[in-house]
Every structure is written in C-alpha cells, then in structure tokens.
Amino acid sequence: MSRSIRMICLGGVALAVQGAYAQDTQPAPMQRVEVTGSRIASPNAESPSPLQVLTARDIAASGANNLQDLLLQNPTLGTPTYSRTNTAFLTSGAGVATVDLRNLGTSRTLVLVNGRRFVSGVPGSAAVDLNAIPTDFVERVELMTGGASAAYGSDAVAGVVNIITKRNFDGLTIDAQGGESSKGDSEKRKLSITFGSSNDNGFLMGHIGFTRDGQVWSRNREASAVDQSSKMVVETGDPADAFVAVRPTYSSYAPQGRFTYTGANGKTGSYTYDANGNPIPFVSSVSGFNRSYYRSIAVPVDRFVLALNGERKIDEHNSAFIEGTYVSTRSGSVIEPFALSSADIFSNAQVPAGTMVNGTLVKNPLVPQYLYDRISDTDGDGIPDYSFTRRMAEVGTRSNSVDRDTFRLATGFKGDFHAWKDWNYEAYVSYGQTKEAQQSSGQVNVLNFRNALSAIPDANGNPVCADANAVTQGCVPINIFGFNSISKEALAYVNAPGSLTTRTTQKLAGGHIDGEIFDLPAGPLGIAAGVEFRKEYSESTPDALTQAGLNAGNATPPTQGEFSVREAFVEAHVPILKDLPFIKELSLPIAFRHGDYSSVGSTNSWNAGFEWTVVDDVKLRGTRSLSTRAPDINELYQAPSQDFPTGLTDPCEGVTATSQGVYDARCRADPGVAANIAKNGQFTNTLADQQGVSGYNRGNPNLHAEKGRSTTLGVVWTPRSIPMLKRFTFTADYFNIKIADAIVSTPRQFALTGCYSGTNPAMCQFITRWPTANGASSAGALRYIDTAVSNSGGKATSGIDLTAAWTDRVGPGTLSTRLAYTYVKTGYDVPLPGADRDPFAGEIGAPKNKANLNLGYRWKDLNVNATFDYIGRSSLDDQFLSGFDLPANSLQVGSRTYTNMQVSYQLMKKTELYFGLDNAFDVKAPPIISGLPGDVTGTETDGGTYDPIGRRWYAGIRVKL
C-alpha cells in the first residue's frame, strides 16, 4: 500500500510538503486503489499518464478560500477564462472560478468530483465553477494532463481535474480566518465547520462554511487609477512606446456631454460645457471622463456552502453512498456610467432640434440657443439637427448584482460480487442545477430617450414631450446639456433596470464493473466496463429591452438548448512481462469509449499506453489517445450577442491616398476609408472610434465534434536503492496534443488581417465600417467586427513537464521540497481550415516557461511553508504586432516571480494558529496597457495571469474537537 500511494503521486511529485511524514507510519492493510485516468482499481494502481496531486495539506498551507487560487500555481494550468480578477467587465459570469489545462480552453478541461461529472456553473458551457467546491471538504486534487475521453467522455481533451473529497472524518474542525491586502482592500473572511463520524459500517460527514473575498477598485492602485492608453497605439506607432502610457487618456464620453454639429456653410464643430455651464471647446485631457475611477480589479465574492458526504454498509459486500452540495454565491460588478451616443438612439446619429407642428418648425426649448444658432438640417427633413455623446452620470454606475445557486446530489451503490470478491461494481445517479439571477442598473430605455429628446413648449412655455401618446405614457423631456442637467422625473422615465436569469441542469446515470478475468504469466488481467447516460440543458433569458438592444447596451437574445448522450466504455490493464532483466514489470493499459450524441451523432475515443518498470528505481511510461469533444450548448445555439472587443489594430490606420503596403489598396477600396483619407490626408481613427467598436458573437448548430490526439512519454526515477536519495523523486514527461476540427470563434484580429491583406477575403463578411461620419464616429471607422463559431483547422501544444521532490530530516526538523516546471515548446491555433498557424505559446497568458517551487520546514509544533510561482517572459499577440509590421515576439514583458508564505503553530494539541502572506514581496504586474492585447479592463495588465492586487495577509485559527 505504501508503494501504491507513492506511485499514485509520482506523476506530479505533488506530495504535500508535510505529507511525506506518512512514510514513517506503519504500512496500512492492502486495499484496492483507483487512480484518475482509469476505472480499474487495483492494489498497485499507477498512472501511465502524467499525474499531479495536491493534497488537503497543500490547501491548508495556501490559506485559499477557493480551489482555483491554489490550482493556478500549477504550471500545467493556463490563464482561466473566469476568475475574480478578469470578470469585472463581463455582462455575466462575475466571480466565477474556472481552470484551463495547457491553455487549450476551459471547455477542454473536464472537472470531476470523485470521478463523476459536476454541473456547470456557466450557462451554455461545461465549465465547472470551483466556488461550488468547499476546500475543507477536499482530500486531494488529481490533475491528469493529456486526453482522457476514453475514461470519462467528452471535454477531457486537455485533461482532467479530479477532486476527491474526504472520507472517514471523525470529530469537528472549526476554521476561522481573516485578512486583507496591504492597501486595506481585498478583504478575506472565512468561517467553516466540518464534522463527521465513521466506524466499520460507514461514515457521514458534513460542512457548513462562509467565505468572503472583497472588492478591489482600480482607483486604489497607482497603475490603474487613471484612464490610459499605450503610446504606440494612440500616438506614435513606435514599438519603443508600446509600454509607455499616455496618461490620462480620458474618455470623450463626458458627463456634461459633447455636442457635434454641421453649420449652414458645411463647416463642422463641437463643444462641451465647463462646471459653470459655459460652452467651451472639448479637450479630452481636460473635459474627458476618468472611467478607471469606477472600475474594478477584483470583484467581491461571498459564498455560503453546505455539503454532505456519506457511505453506509448494507452488508459485507455492498454499501450505499450519497454526495450533496448546495452553494449560494453572491457576486457582482460595478463599472463606469453608461456611454450614450446619439447613434444609439437615431440610426443616422442626428438629433432633431425641433418638431414640425402643423407644418411649422417649433424649436425644442431645451436646446441651448448657442447650439441652435450653429446647426443646420443635415438629413433633409427640414429640421436642424446635431449629434452628441454623453456619460449618463445621473443614471449612476452600471452594476450587476449576481445571486448564483448551485445544487448537486449524487447517490448510488457500490461493492463487490460475493462470488467473485475481486470484482467490484458501482452504480450511480446524480442531478445538478445552477441558477443565476442577475439584476443590473445604469442602462437607459432607447425608445423613451428618443421621445424625451423631442420636446415642444406648452401653453405656459414649459417643455413637454412632442409625442402626445408618449406624454400619456409618462414621457418627461430630458435636458442633456451640461453637468447634472437631467431632472429626477426625466431620469425615472428613461431609466431601464435590467435582469438576467439562467438555469443549467445536468442529469447523469451510469455504472461500471471492474475486476480480474484471469491470471497471465505476468499477473492478473484487469478489466473495467460500463455505461453512462447524460443530459445537459441550459437557458439564459435577459429582460425584454436587453434582448432587443433597446437599453443602449449589448443586444443579447435568449439562448436555450439541450443535448443528451449515451455512452459505453471498456478498459483493460494487460500485464505482459515480469521479473526479467531490465523488465521488472511491463503492462499495457487500453481503453475504448463509444458515444451517441443527440447533437452530433456518434463519437469514438480510445487510449493505449505502456508502463515499463525497468528496475525498482526507474519506470518508463507513455500513452497515445484519441479524445473527442462535442460542442456545448452555447457553441451550438447562441443567438447573435453583442460584444465590445478591445485590443484590436485597424490595418487601415495610417494609409494615405498613395501609400503602398500589404493592406493599403484594399483599405482605400472602402468608401468610408477613402472619405477619411480625403479629409485627413491619411486614414485616422479617433479615440472615440477606437472605443466604439462593436460586434456580434453567434453559435453554429452545424458544428461537429472535435478530435484531440495526445501523446505522452515519460520517465519516473525513485532512487530508493541509494540511501542518500531514498526520499527523492524525479519525473520527466513529454506531451503533445493536437486537436483537429477544433471548435473556435474566429479571432477578430485574424478577420481584419485576413480581409485587408487579401489572404482570406471571406473574412470581410465579418467587418462593417461607417460609410460616412456618424456622430462621434469617423467615416471608415470600424462599426462591427463579428465572429462566429466553426470547426477550425485546429489547436495544438507540446512541451515537457519536469517535477522533483525531496524530503528528509535537516537539523532538528524535516525539510520538504517540491518543484514543478513546464516548458511549452509549441502552441498554436489554426483559425480556419487551410489558414496559417497562429502561435499562442510564449504570448501573454501562455508563457513558454512556468514553474512552482514549494519549500516547507517542520520542527515540533512549528511549520513554515513557502511557494514561489514563476511566470516566464511573454510577448504580445503576433496578430496585433503584424498590424504594426512588427515580427512575432518583438515586444515582450518580463518574467514575474510571486512568493507566498505561511507560518503555523500548534498552540495546543487541538488548536493551530496560522499566518500567511500572499505576494509577500509586493511584486507588481507587468504594464499591459489599454490598447494592448491581453489587457483586462480595469487592471492595466492581464489580470487573469498576473497578480494585480499586491501583497495580502491573512491570519486564522483552526480548532479540532
């Protein structure tokens, strides 16, 4: 048993720093062990695939409220799609915590609990929200990289994160913790009670817990306190200025409004107001708006958790089990007040300054005479008009309050067959549901706003809405000219609170048997076989105005869909040779799974490998697998949903009437671009143009399953025969994952480059430019860049994982060390079939080098633990660089190393005090400034990869009764 457990952990050498002390205990009775990646339980279960393990001691030593915080230290994991520090600007998903193995996408990482699927926390996807997993309930987490669809089904293309909960827990543990950042924010609170009882007939344990991770405002960090932009992007185009901030770069959407007009002589102009209500020229650095004051680096997340886990023997051979979880998560986001443009209200962006009454023009009494004297009729309706942009400060900040409830119940039977005790079975059913209710504020009703902008004087000269029907419906004229000019009555009329409700359900039933058929000369032939049924359903329903895009925000139609799958699998562990020279053991694990999806039809997955123990101290291993992933509900059925992408480079920027280049001729062919060049001498985007790009994301019901082929080859060295190294373990594994027909959204920058370079003219269908100047938008400026989901040319990554661990007595105590290092040799996307590879390895969010070093020292009742997380040098996206005619990897940000520490002391036999520092040396995140790819809005860096918060401390007490 001692060797079995040790070999389970060899794949990642992820023994807890204190876990090595278990080697000094007496050997446990022999029992069968099931390891992630296989359904076959055996006394010497060992993984032929790279396997890394994090234990309950690792979790306790990290002080983490959420498993994501600890898992992201593992170098096999990439930047998550959802976390506290990259969801503040999302319309949904605030505070969700996911994981992403190998940077191949969250959808390709399968998260299991005790080897079974868990309901998704993100509607329309398979992404599990780790907020729903109580950390104190976890015994260990096993990370297996490489394809595992043959064992577990769809979504395991990049690998599996299997969360194993505790068993046989006796007593009661209370854990209370508090902390915050060195700036006084990022509040951290925890209070949990874990209790249980076990005996020969089974066990029952429960958990009640509350955790809080507090808000961090952008304004409270010097790097993100003020709106800024990359000098290279907005001014010079010089790569030396890429990481130089133009500060401030305030938004041209200001609370007092900016008003643009065309006079009778054809000349255009614009103006704004000072604090005293006087008309002045608009200068962004003076009159603009600092959005960063209202933005967030990290969203707040409160969690209330109830969990239950139990098993009861029915007789000597059979038992029943149950797993129950209920998690209530409250999160939310706050961003700056809405940026409203006349283009959001009128299709031509022109606001009439009067109304025709019985054939006579009547001036809107709220339109200032200063403006009225300077405008003319530009659309031929006989009414002079103007355009505007305005920050709707009176409406307030845009906020989303999110209540997310996750419920899951799994139950079943397991045991062995009385006649054949070496044969085991398990049968189970589970039901999971995630519901979300989101309330939002800060938007306006476009139809009401249009009515309120059209006013005439009544008999007493007071302004009233020109439309009589609108008046009966409560219309109040609105004054948009100057600071705080909108009355409470008008505000109530145009205000448009929003809502979003979602529901995701998962129904699962299955069973399998495993055992030994007969003995071969090298050992027993193990086999497992089983069946599973799964049904996934998801729906997302925004409020009516949001669905129609009539609240001036993202138009988001409802999405609803479902699919079901029936699967059967078989697995075998075939011993080939044993006890021969240089062949201590040689066996072949193989597996096959067939699935029948209601959405994409039949799929097949397989896995084959070898485990070769050359001598006691050296083991070679390898796998080759074919994994499949069926498209999720959003990928299949998402209706066109509006988005506002950032970090894009317009290839037409700087093109003149005579310039010659890769993009120039095709850019000039666009009438809007040509008009812009004629006016400015070269194609010029204003800051408002750059900030105003929109687009639609949509699904594709004609998708088919993607296929991932994985290869791993590795060596495990455990020099037990060398006394000085008997507690040392080393592994090296090569991995290569290639995904054919990968399901991806066409990258917007790829579409721009392909369209205007002529390499992929089909991409032009996704791009819409303004044909003429429209309000704050220049002629030729990008209006929409859409993206659609398709089975692309593929994705791939390859590299090497190295791990090492050593534990022994040093001085009066015990020193434990663990190192995990990942080098990514290649990583690329093929956006469309036949397209060139688009490398991502080495770019921001996917560095080629990552490492984690853990050091621990224990002396009597004192325990000291430190981890060092290394993130290697990374470059800006090559597609972005190509827009500036720069080669790939020519602009890079430096490496970062974060240090986390914890000291604990056993005050009494049942009381432990602990104190920790995260990012102990307050290492600053690299400046990935607005306008550069990888920037997470509000953080001025990649908030999902680097730490934008800074040093944080926590202290707690753990009492065991």
pLDDT digits (tens, 9 = 90+) for 544-570: 888 887 887 667 889 899 999 999 999
pLDDT digits (tens, 9 = 90+) for 337-389: 999 999 889 988 899 999 999 989 999 999 999 999 999 999 888 999 999 99
d(CA 239, CA 885): 10
Residue type, 560: Q
**Comparing 9-18, 40-49, 702-711, which segment has the lowest mean pLDDT?**
9-18
Query: Given a cut of 50, is residue 597 above it in pLDDT?
Result: yes
- Look at residue 20 in the predicted model and tell me its pLDDT: 34
**Comparing 42-56, 149-163, 342-356, 572-586, which segment has the lowest mean pLDDT?**
42-56
d(CA 600, CA 563): 9
- Look at residue 41 in the predicted model and tell me its pLDDT: 61
- Look at residue 333 in the predicted model and tell me its pLDDT: 92
Phi-psi region of 486 (alpha: psi -120 to 50; beta: other; left: phi over 0): beta
936-941-944 Cα angle (round to 5): 60
Q: Six-digit token pair at 814?
A: 């015990």
- Are 509 and 432 within 8 A, CB to CB? no
Q: How confident is the model at residue 421 (pLDDT cuts 50, 70, 90)?
A: low
- Are 464 and 477 within 8 A, CB to CB? yes
Query: Given a cut of 60, is residue 30 above it in pLDDT?
Result: no
- Look at residue 21 in the predicted model and tell me its pLDDT: 32
Element (H, E) at 62: helix 56-62
**Comparing 36-45, 255-264, 828-837, which segment has the lowest mean pLDDT?**
36-45
Q: How confident is the model at residue 220 (pLDDT cuts 50, 70, 90)?
A: very high
- Look at residue 607 in the predicted model and tell me its pLDDT: 93
pLDDT digits (tens, 9 = 90+) for 460-510: 999 999 999 999 999 999 999 999 999 999 999 999 999 999 999 999 999
Query: Given a cut of 60, is residue 734 above it in pLDDT?
Result: yes
Q: What is the DSSP string of 728-748?
A: EEEEEEEEEEEEET-EEEPPH
d(CA 307, CA 125): 24
pLDDT digits (tens, 9 = 90+) for 186-217: 999 999 999 999 998 999 999 999 999 999 99
d(CA 285, CA 672): 28
What is the mean pLDDT of the segment spanning 423-438?
Answer: 95
Query: Given a cut of 70, is residue 588 above it in pLDDT?
Result: yes
Residue of 418 and 853 predicted with greater confidence: 853
d(CA 428, CA 112): 14
- Are 2 and 27 within 8 A, CB to CB? yes
- Look at residue 627 in the predicted model and tell me its pLDDT: 93
Report the predicted TM-score, pTM, of the whole model to 2 decimal places: 0.87
What is the mean pLDDT of the segment spanning 513-519?
Answer: 89
Return mean pLDDT, the chain: 90
What is the mean pLDDT of the segment spanning 59-69?
Answer: 93
